[in-house]
Amino acid sequence: MTPGRCKGKAHQPEHLGIAGRRVLVSRKWSNKTLDDHRAERGAFVRQLLHTAGIQPAHGPHDGPYQWERPAPTDPDIPPRALLLLQAVAERQRWKAEYTAAQLATSGPPPDNGSASHDQAA
């Protein structure tokens, strides 16, 4: 056996960089597609927000949308940097709403009985 001459398939040059599955994918044991998992997660989040009394600003089912690819010459399309900043701000708002819903439905925080907490107050 010489270094660099492994006969294993994973070390052959034609197979380098191709990742293999090391876990059983969920569709094999749950019979759900990725769209099913996505819909289930969305339903859970909507239910949590509803339980906490939080009404999302808007969602994908709030109106008739027609999706189309914009042409590079479309005058009503904002610059890419602005679109990215809006997407980041929207994601942060969603995260804040979800965290607020989790806190609202979890009840009061547990008392850890720490003596240093009483002294700091």
26 lies in some domain: yes
pLDDT at site 1: 58
Gap between the Cα atoms of 98 and 50, Å rounded:
11
Is 0.75 topped by the overall pTM?
no
88 lies in some domain: yes
Residue type, 70: P
54 lies in some domain: yes
What is the domain extent for residue 46? 21-59+77-106
* Averaged pLDDT for residues 58-63: 63
pLDDT digits (tens, 9 = 90+) for 86-111: 999 989 998 999 999 999 988 765 56
pLDDT at site 6: 76
53 lies in some domain: yes
7 lies in some domain: no
Gap between the Cα atoms of 89 and 112, Å rounded:
35
89 lies in some domain: yes
Domains identified in the chain, total number: 1
111 lies in some domain: no
